[in-house]
Amino acid sequence: MTIEMFYRETDAIDWAVEALRACILSSGTAAELSACLADLSTRLADLFEHENARIHGPIEDALPEASADALTMIADARQLHADCDAYLSDWTADCIEADRDIFLLETEALLDRIQRAANRAGNDLYPMALAKGLIRLRA
C-alpha cells in the first residue's frame, strides 16, 4: 500500500464521521443513524486491517528499535478499535431509539477520538512508516 491509499482511507473515515454528525444534526431516525454507524464501522475496520498488516505488525516486529511514540500510537489505535467494536454492538437502532440522548453524548465523544486518531496517524504514523520503508510513496 502507499501513503496516498492510507490518506484516502482516513479521508473516507472523516467523511463518514461528518455524515453521521450531519444525520444527528438533522434529527435523523434511529435507522438512518444506524446506517451511518454501519458505514463508519466498515471504513474503520478496513483501515485498521490495513494499518495492522502494513504498519502496526512490522513496527512491533522491529522491537526494541521501535520508538515509544510509535508503540503508543499502535496501542491507542488498537484500544480505539476495540472501543468502536463494543460501541457499535451496543448501539443498535432499537437502542438508539430508546436512549437517544445518551447515544448522542457517547457518539460525539467517540467521533472526536476517531478524528484525533486519524489526524495523528496522518501527521505522524504514516510519514514514519514511509520513512521506515513500511509503505511506499507511490504505486
In a domain, 136, yes or no: no
2 forms beta bridges with 136
Residue 1: its pLDDT value, please? 87
Do the domain assignments include residue 139?
A: no
Residue 119 placed within a domain = yes
48 contacts 81 by C-beta, under 8 angstroms: yes
Is residue 26 domain-resident?
A: yes
Q: pLDDT value at position 89? A: 87
In a domain, 127, yes or no: yes
The total domain count for the chain is: 1
pLDDT digit string (tens) for the chain, length 139 residues: 899 999 999 999 999 999 999 999 999 999 999 999 999 999 999 999 999 999 998 888 876 777 888 888 899 999 999 999 999 889 999 999 999 999 999 999 999 999 999 999 999 899 989 988 999 998 8
User: What is the separation, in whole angstroms, between the first and last Cα of the chain?
Assistant: 7
Q: In the prediction, which pLDDT does 123 show?
A: 92
Q: Could you give the 3-state DSSP secondary structure of residue 65? A: coil
- Residue 138 is assigned to a structural domain of this protein: no
Residue 34 and residue 15: Cα distance in Å, rounded? Answer: 16
Q: What is the pLDDT of residue 63?
A: 62
Could you please report the per-residue DSSP string of the chain?
A: -BHHHHHHHHHHHHHHHHHHHHHHHTT--HHHHHHHHHHHHHHHHHHHHHHIIIIIHHHHHTTTSS-HHHHHHHHHHHHHHHHHHHHHHH--HHHHHHTHHHHHHHHHHHHHHHHHHHHHIIIIIHHHHHHTTSSBS--
83: domain CATH number is 1.20.120
- Residues with Cβ within 8 Å of residue 41, at least 6 apart in sequence: 84, 88
Does residue 113 sit within a domain? yes
Residue 21: domain span = 3-131
In-domain check, residue 137: no
Q: pTM value?
A: 0.90
